Amino acid sequence: MTDSTTRTRPNILVTGTPCVGKTAMASLIAERLQMYHVNVGEVIQQHKCHLEYDETLQTYVLDEDKLLDILEVKFDGASDEDNDCDNDNDDDGDCSLDEDDIHVRNKNQHQHPKGGIKGNLVADYHACELFPERWFDLILVLRADTHVLYDRLVQRGYGDTKRTQNMDCEIMNVVLDEAKESYAKEIVVELKSNSVVDMDQNVDRVVSWYRQWIVDHANNNAGGAGGANVNTNVVSTSS
């Protein structure tokens, strides 16, 4: 089991309402910082982490226990034997997260957690409250103006019901509030994501934050008790 005092590289979660640009930003962060990108939505599809289909909400009901068992292998560094997974989790009976689920952006990336490096994962998903707090060192909540988000939802082909639900979610700050309730407020950062320019600027801020995290947690790399608390002002929009 790892946390910010034992990881040698930080873990980042990019979250927000559907269509705010989470996957695109996580991919850019992974590429710039040679991190491993975990697209949680793809993991859910590939490992069939569904219980049933909700006709009213027009979406599948997530099997949170199965998903967390799968992700735990990477985030906590647990072996397959350490996870209480049923043999029917996958067709081959293996509940572990395959290498295909981790989007490698660069051949020279830091060694995967399996090989000794702890951390260095960037995940994206439209919810955040289901993940253990210890998994992440920075929570990025992307926000989009309502007219921008509406156009993106239409382009994505969302029906009226789902489009209205997601618009209400953004207007009511649902994901941001869940992030602040689920994680230490000092690691939750709200970022505007209306344009490519916004995304590029946000990634630059994350790069600065990542480098500062490495400095602040130098004792982790040296086998010490852990570094100082990181200053998220480096990544906030006010910086």
Chain-wide mean pLDDT for the chain?
A: 80
* Backbone conformation region of residue 120, classed left if phi is above 0, alpha if psi is from -120 to 50, else beta: left
Average pLDDT over residues 167-190: 96
Pairing of strands 138-143, 50-54: unpaired
Q: pLDDT tens, 37-86?
A: 999 999 999 999 988 877 776 678 899 999 999 999 888 864 333 333 33
> Do 68 and 62 form a contact (C-beta atoms < 8 A)?
no
Q: In this predicted structure, what is the pLDDT of residue 221?
A: 61
Q: In this predicted structure, what is the pLDDT of residue 153?
A: 96
Q: pLDDT tens, 16-41?
A: 999 999 999 999 999 999 999 999 99
pLDDT band at 182 (very low <50, low <70, confident <90, very high): very high
% helix, strand, coil for the chain, step of 5: 45, 15, 40
Q: In this predicted structure, what is the pLDDT of residue 234?
A: 61
pLDDT at 112 over 70: no
